[in-house]
A = this chain, B = another copy of it.
Amino acid sequence: MPPGWPLRGKRRVLATRVFGVDAHRLVSPRTGAEHEFFIVDCVDWCNIVPLTRDRRVVMVRQHRYGTGEETLELPGGMIDASDPSPLEAARRELLEETGYHAPLVEPTGVIAPNPAMQSNRCWSFLARDVERVGEPRLDGGEDIEVVTVPLDEIPARIQRGEICHALVVVAFAYALGLRAP
């Protein structure tokens, strides 16, 4: 098993509203040499597979600035310091982005979005019997359309590339499981 790499020091080289970047100086236990790695430091994230009683998934279409394209995603976002738990953060994001309330929520898994260069985790949840209770409440930087998609169509939409956000695919992989090889 590879040993850990001792941390000799770190310094913040960039701070933005959504993430910071830290330069870590680490020592290779194999060679003794020092290497510098840049780590994107984000708070933890969450996302949720919200199922209606008629087996539809409540999803969001939005323009994404990273890829410059429209995506079909699950509700989710940053876990705020004011959220009592990751589960409550997921419930809050669902309500804010879609106007749906989730009475029954269960955790399905926790993933590292990119352990090579990010320190954070994304917590995934599954909600049943979600119901529309109001309008979405979007902040100025959001621009979201709510759509519902039959659960049965999800595997094919992933295989076709229509659902193409890694963390959304992971949440569905946790909720549905992978096919036995």
Contact = CB atoms under 8 A, between A and B. Distances in A.
Interface residues of A, number: 78
Contacts of A179: 155, 176-180
A144 B66 contact: no
Contacts of A155: 177-181
Interface string A40-75: 100000000000000100000111111111110000
Contacts of A115: 64, 66-67, 69, 71, 164-165
Contacts of A18: 38, 117
B65 A39 contact: yes
Nearest to A177: B179
Interface stretch (A20-28, A79-87, A129-137): A20-28
Contacts of A143: 2-3, 5, 28-30
A88 B3 CA distance: 31
Contact of A111 (B68, B164, B174): B164
Interface in A134-168: 140-141, 143-145, 151-152, 154-155, 158-159, 161, 164-167
A145 B1 contact: yes
Contacts of A3: 63, 143
A105 interface: no
Interface of A: 1-5, 7, 13-14, 16-19, 21, 23-24, 26, 28-31, 33, 35, 37-40, 55, 61-71, 109-119, 121-122, 140-141, 143-145, 151-152, 154-155, 158-159, 161, 164-167, 169-170, 172-174, 176-181
Given A4-B63, A109-B161, A158-B178, 18 more contacts: A2-B62, A2-B63, A2-B70, A2-B143, A2-B144, A7-B68, A13-B14, A16-B21, A16-B23, A18-B117, A19-B38, A19-B117, A109-B158, A113-B113, A113-B114, A152-B180, A166-B166, A169-B173
